[in-house]
Amino acid sequence: AQKVTQAQTEISVVEKEDVTLDCVYETRDTTYYLFWYKQPPSGELVFLIRRNSFDEQNEISGRYSWNFQKSTSSFNFTITASQVVDSAVYFCALSTGGATNKLIFGTGTLLAVQP
């Protein structure tokens, strides 16, 4: 069975704090893809990053960084020096690719950044 767990339902931080959003996944497939999407208050889903199972390199994009660890089946997302504009629901998702490439979503983490 495939599953994505985001144990943190809500996180509240003050602007400029660093924050890490946790994501733990389950799959028996050796080839899979992991994603993070951002859903701001306006409601749309914005793609942030994709990682495949063969690439465990951490990635940094500006204030965003991602830590992929196959040993713990985790794909955590860190925002450095958070800003109010980072306030959103963040979803982690898993896909095993193939012909259908269905996405399995976690339940999301609501991040509130206070000024």
Q: Transcribe the chain into DSSP letters.
A: --EEE---SEEEEETT--EEE--EEE-S-SS-EEEEEEE-TT---EEEEEEETT----EEETTEEEEEEGGGTEEEEEESS--GGG-EEEEEEEE--TTT---EE---EEEEEE-
Q: Which residue lies nearer to other proteins by CB, 18 or 55?
A: 55
Q: Which residue lies nearer to other proteins by CB, 28 or 44?
A: 44
Specify which residues 88 forms β-bridges with: 111
Q: Does 27 bind other proteins (CB under 8 A)?
A: no
Tell me which amino acid residue 104 is. I
Q: Which of 21, 66, 106, 113 binds other proteins (CB under 8 A)?
A: 106
Residue 104 Cβ vs other proteins, minimum distance, rounded to whole Å:
8
**Encoding tokens for residue 84?**
């109010």
Q: Does 70 bind other proteins (CB under 8 A)?
A: no
Q: Which of 19, 21, 23, 93 binds other proteins (CB under 8 A)?
A: 93
Q: Does 43 bind other proteins (CB under 8 A)?
A: yes
Q: Which of 37, 66, 68, 75 binds other proteins (CB under 8 A)?
A: 37
Kindly list the residues in this chain that would bind other proteins in the complex (CB under 8 A).
4, 9, 33, 35, 37, 43-45, 47, 50, 52, 91, 93, 95, 97, 99-103, 105-108
